[in-house]
Amino acid sequence: MRRFQEPLLLLATTNVGKRALIADQLDRLGVPYATPDTHPIPDVEETGATFFDNALLKAKACATATGLVALADDSGLEIPSLGGIPGVHTGRFARDAGGYDACFVKLENMLEGKDTTAIFTSHLVIAWPDGHFEHAKGTIEGRLVFPPRPGRGFGYFPIFAPKGSDKTFSQMEDDEILAYNHRYLAFQGLREVFTAP
């Protein structure tokens, strides 16, 4: 596994919610990083068939465009009883529904009488400008709960309760989220990249 030894890492996401957890982990490890706020990134079309494909597309495009080592994420929600949707179209599914509140109503209707098991998946890719990359994946199984339970966080957090908890992500404190969060689990798979041998 190649280790990150450069002076600056680009945290290549404009999604503030996604960025917060990863930034916190980088801070804990003392990894210097920049964001698109100061280092603009290209608008990468997510044409991949999988979360990994899209994370790799974004990381490589941002590394090439900026000359920095870039860390990108692609993640989403999969509902087995609905054939795996929304999957790689997780964000688009909510936008097409008219926003998250409308999306939650739509999902509740679609899941009537069906198993509400759901899986959150995150793929993180760190790519170097020379084309090399490292990759890690994190998944957490849970269930969807209705009505939504508003609180902290973003996206589908108000309706997702991870296995082993009666709380949704939106009801959890930071330490609780770290015990379950798919993005945090994926980051643990990359810790070796950021720690000295």
User: Per the residue annotation, which of 74, 130, 166, 174 is the catalytic one?
Assistant: 74
Q: Which of 74, 85, 24 is nearest to 48 (CA)?
A: 74
Q: Residue 78 belongs to what H/E stretch? A: strand 69-78
Please check whether residue 48 is in contact with residue 57, taking contact to mean a CB–CB distance below 8 angstroms.
yes
Q: Residue 108 belongs to what H/E stretch? A: helix 100-110
User: Is 166 among the residues known to form the active site?
Assistant: no
Catalytic residues: 74
